[in-house]
Structure 1
Amino acid sequence: MTSRNAVIFHGTGGSPGILWFPWLGRQLTARGYDVDIPHYPGINVDPVDDLVPTILAGHRFDRDTVLVGHSGGAALLLALLEDLDVTVARAILVAGYCTEPNTEREPVLRKGYDWSRIRAHVRDLYFVNSTNDPYGCDDGQGRAMFDRLGGTLIVREEGHFGDHDQPYPTFELVDRLIG
């Protein structure tokens, strides 16, 4: 019998010990999940196609896997889902985006996506975006992904859901979405 597992990806310039990531990890561990919150400093620094094989080799992905990504980590999930060879249980993209959200270089994005392949590799897909995201990872980006992939779009007015100037130690919504 396989156990449920979750992989939580930080965003650009982030790390596993910030924001709501440790709290969510503890919540899921208490419910019996095997939780991995890896540190990938190359997110949105290295080309996504160089990073994805390392991630695929470094984690377990199966029908009971839950993926959570924040900002650049959410954008990373698009490429990861496209390249998986299994269908995972759930993916939650928080402050995610599929096109350049601002004037910064975005190596985490692919020039194009096979949207049907992405959709085929996840049973439940959630986009959590904000109307007032200061980096452009806003509800318009959430709508763009939702229009291509379906799933559930949740729009809040909560900035970037955590950043250096926005304390965000817990995130009950994401915890509830995982169940």
Structure 2
Amino acid sequence: MPPRVLIVPGNGCTPIEQCNWYAWLANELRERGCEVVLTSMPDPHRARESIWLPFIRDVMKCDRDTVVVGHSSGAEAAMRLAESTEFLGMLLVSACVTDLGDASERASGYYNRPWEYEKMKANVKWIVQFGAPGALNMVK
């Protein structure tokens, strides 16, 4: 049975269906039998952790049978969610582990403490990272 997939965008992506590659991926996955959740996020420009994580968990319904595809700020949200929530898989696109000196990224709340990689690996069965070589060396 194909997994249920949540697509979590980067900040500023609204309406989500018109941004980046999200609608294309949703259509490709649906053609392969996946249930896909592609919905505009609350607080789309700041992508605050305090708003996005409960939304992903409770409204988008992330659970043990879910794959989360996170892009940019959505990847950081997926990583923080994986520290405390069990789910099937995590596909990270252009993730980062610092605010890169950007005030709006800093305001999101994802970067104010160390990343708990061991918890992520314990809670998620598989993790795939797309990005520049060496950008994030989470799985050793």
Report the TM-score, using the length of structure 1 for normalisation: 0.66
**Partner secondary structure for residue 105 of structure 1:** helix
> Which residue number corresponds to residue 70 of structure 1?
71
Spell out structure 1 runs of 4+ moving beyond 4 A.
none
Paired letter, 2:67: V
Partners in 2 of 1:44 and 1:77 — Cα distance? 17
Query: What residue in structure 2 maps to residue 40 of structure 1?
Result: 41
The answer to whether 1:111 aligns with 2:112 is yes
Identity rate, percent: 24
- In structure 2, the partner of 1:126 is 128
Gapped regions of structure 2 (runs ≥ 5):
none
2:139 to 150, 156, 161: 150
Residue type at the aligned position of 1:117? K
Matched pairs, number: 135
Greater Cα radius of gyration, structure 1 or 2:
1
The equivalent residue for 2:95 is 96
Superposed displacement of residue 47, structure 1: 3.2
Q: In 1, Cα distance between the equivalents of 2:100 and 2:38?
A: 25
Q: Partners in 2 of 1:60 and 1:45 — Cα distance? A: 21
Residue 23 of structure 1 aligns to a residue whose secondary structure is helix
Give RMSD over aligned pairs.
2.2
Q: CA deviation at 1:43?
A: 4.5
Q: What residue in structure 1 maps to residue 10 of structure 2?
A: 11
Describe the shift of the 1:53–1:63 C-alpha distance in structure 2 as closer, same or farther (beyond 3 A): closer
Q: What are the ranges of 5 or more consecutive residues in structure 1 without an aligned counterpart?
A: 131-138, 152-179
Secondary structure, counterpart of 2:61 in structure 1: coil
Contact 1:43/1:76 (8 A) holds in 2: no
| 2:22 corresponding residue in structure 1 | 21
